[in-house]
Structure 1
Amino acid sequence: MALAELEKLDRNEEGIARVLEILGERYGERLLTGLSVREQHAHSTSYIPAQLPDGVFAPNNVEEVQDVVRLCAEHRVPVIPFGTGSSLEGHVNAPAGGISLDLMNMNRIIAVNAEDLDCTVEPGVTREDLNHYLRDTGLFFPIDPGANASLGGMASTRASGTNAVRYGTMRDNVVNVQAVMPDGRLITTARRARKTSAGYDLTRLMVGSEGTLGIITAMTLKLYGIPQAVSGGVCSFPDVESACQAVIMTIQMGVPVARIEFVNGLAMKAINAYSDLDYPEGPCLFLEFHGTDAGVKEQAETFGEIAEEFGGGPFQWTSVAEERTKLWKARHNAYWACVALRPGAQGLSTDVCVPISRLAECIVETEADIAESGLIATVIGHVGDGNFHVLVLMDMNDPKEIEQAEAFVARLNRRALSMDGTCTGEHGIGQGKMRFLEEELGDAVDVMRAVKEAIDPHNIMNPGKIIGARRT
């Protein structure tokens, strides 16, 4: 979305003033209105300009969430949920002002049901906190978007990450959510049973709703046994097509790969420099396999044979934990590694997802587009499910560069749509991709809008995200 196209929403000045007054009377210094803290709560890793809330409140429990939401509903004041601020499409902006509800104090792990392979947590628990807590149980939570995001934020944006090819996304791993609705009611969308035919699937409706329908205050998540053995490594390829064909063959042969990540040549150069590695600086795949000692060895060897068939390799793999940790730490630091390619620049991070049969074509055309545009940009992808990210490095003081970058992103989104893909595999819509959602789903967006208006008739829940004003 071009910077000038951010939707303008009217502010309810009288209502905001009254809500701030009442919250100040009820909670005193816990209501924060200083400029720096309001700037922090409109900040994310997006390049989209910050739109500040009028106040920030960090509830300690669900009753305080209900209290704030009821007050805001009474006075028609927006409520914007905030986790760690790692979102990428302007999700935490406050285009109409209002109250930023910082949920990071709600960070209890309520229950771990080891026999049922699930746990119930509050939204402020981060994925790293949860796995640290679980490490002595033999269980883990696999969704890994890279950033140490809050689980509430991950559910709200339907996050996924490097393990999605084997374990799925948040959509597949949230059993139920507890949520405060726009009128202050507290609902639970399902019980803990692994399957149900009881009514509308409200869990799936809330997961990915980006705070526009309610505030998630707890959720039950699926857990998995920590694999007996893990192997992983890096394999280089002569070109993008060869790497993508190896991915397709691996998936089609049923090799139970846990992670399979594509990194293009420029990104590999950045990763090597940033993490002091010496991998080949061409298209590479990072892989990981989970299973038994014999199983992960067999899987790694099978992939090595596939890679060789497409001119790749040798596949350098290891089952030594320290070496694998170094490898994946380098992958997770790829954002900062790529930003370092152009000191002083800011990164515009975007993602698309296409059927894997179109993946090579889409990446090749995207790299050609980058070169023709004269942009500096890297390509990294969770290619096992056709999802890849582009990080464009641009000078935010140069309007021409910003215009070029935004035009490139528009072409990238439309390229993915032309291949029967989606404008976002995991970043979400937020503010940044609203117009592309319209192009992707057409009249279905009107159905989403009807759901939003029915549940949140006064548009107080994270307004100006996912769907804009009704089309005329």
Structure 2
Amino acid sequence: MSTWLRLLNSWKLQTRFTLLNHINCIRYSSRISDELLDKARSIVGDNNFTISEAARLLHGRDESYHVPLPPDLILFPTSTKQVSEIAKLCTIHKIPMIPFGTGTGLEGGVGATRGGVTLNMTRMDQILEVSTDDLFATVRPGVTRSRLNNHIRDTGMWFPIDPGADASLCGMVVTSASGTNAVRYGTMKENVINMEVVLANGDVINTSGTDCRAKKSSAGYNLTGLFVGCEGTLGIMTAATLRLYGIPESVSSAVCSFPSVYDAISTATMVIQAGIPVARLEFLDDVMMSACNKYSGLSYDETASLFLEFHGSSNSVEEQAELAKEIAKDNNSGEFQWTTDPEERSRLWKARHDALYASKALLPGCEVYITDVCVPMSNLPDVIVKSKQAISESGCIAPIVGHVGDGNFHCCFLLKPGDNEELKKVREIAMWMGRLAISARGTCTGEHGVGRGKIQLVQEQYGEDGISLMRNIKFALDPDNIMNPGKVITL
């Protein structure tokens, strides 16, 4: 096909897209005035603007069980200036703004509870800077975890925070995500150096100071920490500077099974206490192991199990694996299988990352309700055992998997579509688990965030004084409550 013909076809598609949007504008009735629609379109352009029903439904939901809540309008900004102009426009008209990344959240954080404007940030997808000397990368919100790692692979560096889904990095920041590598490399909270944020009134700030790339600072309030995990309720992130790490010289992975949850978690606890710098330390219960075996073609024992990974030099990863093996043996483990073979390691961790799909395959056609909690490791065995008992008594199917190296675990409840009684029962168990975690000196969510699913639990965890302070912060930065309203806290 000639260049001119390609350009002609491209022009036809763009013209059709613009025309369809124009027709939709005529037919569409919403809480947004025609004046605001025209001004919004003038900011981002016709090709970065839509109010189609299909797009709105898509942007009103994430990967959670929550009922979709579509926005009235979707904009695709391509610069910080455009985001700022949109924020100023929405402030004038008191219209809610909801940031959207890849839609992989698990607590309904992108639903438009009061309608309004969704800002799809995926077209701001530049990797702005990578420093091999200072070990950082600055990215726009549309850059995903895998894209950054592919971009920097040849430099000998990587970004290790891995929540499983190929989420946008800035989406990971605003939910304070973590994942399988957090036990060694920390969560997003520990790996954000600076952020560019657009506030509700359109002001643009840098949370650590303009162009600051220092690894630590004691200057002023910790604004970076304030915006990490805010889920878009305080501002819209337009860039993030993240820590990078050297790719380890050698990696070994291991799997071992145990006769009980207590034996498995005791092993995990002792591995951490022994100072073994384990990079990944994952727990899978008997139900999850059965699901993974069936889905990924494995043949591991279908009992409580640990998946481990060690990073370092060739000698050190062997030493770490042997030490962990001895600890596991003292806790009645079965065979401790470990390897440095890349194919074997990839197969093991692919099975772990496919755990959600493996769970869903246990009940074909099911819907999934996922919840997570996090507790101190000393309380983890009791909390997991009590949770499994509650699940068993309810008659539900809910495989459990966890990042037990930092006390975090997840339940994947499998629901028959349209069964409201079962959904009600599962919600009650999930709330009970959150309260159990809080009573065990833990938190109602370790990495999924609050969204609109855990607002009540957050209120119980922090108490009225803590929530009152959060409300004051929210009101100071967003007096009209237009930044992703209905999430994290109630006003």
TM-score (norm 1): 0.96
Q: Equivalent residue for 1:457? A: 479
Question: How much does 1:406 deviate?
Answer: 0.6
Q: Which residue of 1 aligns with 2:67?
A: 49
Structure 1 counterpart SS, 2:161: coil
Match of 1:170 in 2: 188
Q: 2:144 aligns with which of 126, 131, 145?
A: 126
1: CA distance, partners of 2:104 / 2:35: 30
1:193 aligns with 2:211: no
Kindly provide the amino acid, as one letter, of the partner of residue 118 in structure 1: F
Aligned equivalent of 1:35: 53
| Structure-1 residue corresponding to 2:394 | 373
User: Does 2:203 correspond to 1:180?
Assistant: no
Distance 1:271 1:201 in 2: 42
Q: 1:231 aligns with which of 248, 252, 256?
A: 252
Q: Report whether the alignment pairs 1:82 with 2:100.
A: yes
- How far does the alpha carbon of each residue in 1:407-451 deviate from its partner, in whole angstroms, 9 at most, with x for none? 111111111111011000000001000000000001201101100
Match 2:457 to one of 436, 439, 448: 436
* Equivalent residues of 1:73, 1:183 under 8 A apart: yes
Given that 1:396 and 1:402 are in contact with CA atoms closer than 8 Å, whether structure 2 keeps it comes out as no
1:447 is matched with: 469
Letter in 1 for 2:167: A
SS of 2:56's equivalent in the other structure is helix
Deviation at 1:194, TM superposition (A): 1.1
- After superposition, the C-alpha distances for 1:281-331 in whole angstroms (9 at most, x for unaligned) are 111100000000000000001101000000003110100111101111110
Q: Which amino acid aligns with 1:19?
A: L
Q: Counterpart of 1:306 in 2: which secondary structure?
A: helix
Residue 324 of structure 2 corresponds to 303
Aligned AA (1:352): V
Deviation at 1:126, TM superposition (A): 0.4
Equivalent residue for 1:222, pick from 243, 265, 282: 243
Note if contact 2:95-2:117 (Cα within 8 Å) is conserved in structure 1.
yes
RMSD: 1.1
Q: Which residue of 1 aligns with 2:231?
A: 210
| Residue of structure 2 equivalent to 1:72 | 90
Partner residue of 2:371 out of 350, 353, 358 = 350
Matching of residue 140 in structure 1 with residue 158 in structure 2 = yes
The Cα shift of 1:70 comes to 1.1
CA contact (8 A) 1:350 1:409 kept: yes
- 2: CA distance, partners of 1:29 / 1:242: 57
Deviation of the 1:13 alpha carbon: 5.9
Q: Secondary structure at the match of 1:110?
A: strand
Query: CA contact under 8 A between 1:16 and 1:77: conserved in structure 2?
Result: no
Contact preservation (8 Å) 2:141, 2:170? yes
For residue 153 of structure 1, the aligned residue among 171, 193, 212 is 171
Which letter maps to 1:164? Answer: A
State the Cα distance separating 1:395 from its structure 2 match: 1.8
**Is the CA contact 1:125–1:151 (under 8 Å) kept in the aligned structure 2?**
yes
Aligned partner letter, 2:468: D
Q: Is the 8 A contact 1:304 1:313 kept in 2?
A: no
Q: Name the structure 2 match of 1:313.
A: 334
Using the TM superposition, give the Cα deviation of residue 164 of structure 1 relative to its aligned residue in structure 2, in angstroms.
0.3
State the partner residue of 1:333. 354
1:18 Cα offset (Å): 3.6
Whether the 8 Å CA contact 1:90–1:431 is kept in 2: the answer is yes
Structure ID, larger Rg: 2
1:18·1:75 contact (CA, 8 Å) conserved in 2? Answer: no
Instruction: Say whether the 8 Å CA contact 2:30–2:72 is kept in structure 1.
Output: no
Q: Give distance in 2, aligned partners of 1:429 and 1:30.
A: 29
Offset of 1:338 from its aligned partner? 0.2
| Alpha-carbon shift at residue 16 of structure 1 (Å) | 5.1
The residue identity in structure 2 corresponding to 1:389 is H
Deviation at 1:28, TM superposition (A): 2.2
Counterpart of 2:22?
none
Alpha-carbon distance in structure 1 between the residues aligned to 2:123 and 2:46 = 17
Summarize the Cα distance change of 1:13–1:459 in structure 2 as closer, same or farther, 3 Å threshold.
farther
Match of 2:113 in 1: 95
Relative to structure 1, the CA distance from residue 29 to residue 116 in structure 2 (aligned partners, 3 Å threshold; closer, same or farther) is closer
Q: Kindly indicate whether the alpha-carbon contact (under 8 Å) linking 1:140 and 1:226 is maintained by their aligned counterparts in 2.
A: yes
Report 1:397-412 matches (<5 A): 397-412=418-433
Residue 24 (1) aligns with residue 44 (2): no
Other structure's SS at 1:343 match: coil
**Counterparts in 2 of 1:17 and 1:419: CA distance versus 1, 3 Å:** farther
Instruction: Check if 1:255 corresponds to 2:276.
Output: yes
Query: Is the Cα contact below 8 Å between 1:356 and 1:385 reproduced in 2?
Result: yes
Percent identical among aligned pairs is 49
1:258 Cα deviation after fit: 0.2
The code of the aligned residue for 1:23 comes to A
Paired letter, 1:61: S
What is the identity, as a one-letter code, of the residue corresponding to 2:366?
Answer: A
TM-fit CA distance, 1:278: 0.8
Match of 1:422 among 428, 435, 443: 443
Gaps of 5+ in 2: 1-28
* Distance in 2 (alpha carbons) for counterparts of 1:19 and 1:160: 38
The amino acid across from 1:308 in the alignment is K
Following TM superposition, by how much is the alpha carbon of 1:66 offset from its aligned partner in structure 2, in angstroms?
1.0
CA change 1:214–1:161 in 2 (3 A) is: same
Letter of the 1:447 partner, please give it.
Answer: L
Contact 2:144 2:169 in 1 (8 A): yes
- Inter-partner Cα distance in structure 1 for 2:30 and 2:366: 36
Classify the secondary structure of the residue corresponding to 2:369: strand
Is contact 1:51-1:97 (8 Å) kept? Answer: yes
- How many Å separate the matches in 2 of 1:14 and 1:296? 59
